[in-house]
Amino acid sequence: MSRWQPFVTVASVVERAGCFLMVEEAPRGSRTTLFNQPAGHLEPGERIKEAALRELREETAWQVALTDYLGLYIYTAANGKTFHSHGFSGMALAHLGTPLDPAILAVHWLTLDEIEALEHQGRLRSPLVLRRIRDARAERFFSMDSLHEP
């Protein structure tokens, strides 16, 4: 008998001058591109905060300082897979100019209105995208110290 295990992911909300850092990607099986925060899976032996910073660098080529912990978001996708997604808020420090992860088609700075329009078009990767943004805007933060990692 196999044991159920959720997929552990990270995602970061980065706002600058009223716009949010977003990535455009073409997931397998999708006929259209989707938009997401810089996000991805935790790799073996990796700490959660390290994973968030790595995904930001790989997917956006931005150096970001993580400032707040948004919490743990639990989501079950239509395919039955459950994700435990750790959300962060961060501040953009510098564009690194490094190559993007090949799965990323483009990096965008989008307003909340533009992101809400994408939601109405069904073009957000998951319902968590807008929820994390709204939580960050409402300053629903936990202390970064609430994550206990070795």
pLDDT digits (tens, 9 = 90+) for 1-58: 688 899 999 999 999 999 999 999 998 777 889 999 999 999 999 999 999 999 999 9
**Cα 137 to Cα 111: distance, rounded to the nearest angstrom:** 12
What is the residue whose two structure tokens read 């088609």? 105
Q: Does the pLDDT value for residue 132 go beyond 80?
A: yes
Predicted local confidence at residue 15, as pLDDT: 98
Domains of the chain: 7-144 (3.90.79.10)
pLDDT tens digits for range 56-69: 999 999 999 999 99
Predicted local confidence at residue 86, as pLDDT: 98
Q: Does the pLDDT value for residue 134 go beyond 90?
A: yes
**Cα 8 to Cα 82: distance, rounded to the nearest angstrom:** 9
What is the mean predicted confidence (pLDDT) over 87-93?
Answer: 98
Residue 5 in tokens? 């295990």
SS3 category, 75: strand
Predicted local confidence at residue 28, as pLDDT: 78
Q: What is the band of 111 on the pLDDT scale with cuts at 50, 70, 90?
A: very high
> How far is residue 30 CA from its own chain's centroid?
19
Contact 121, 28 (CB under 8 A): no
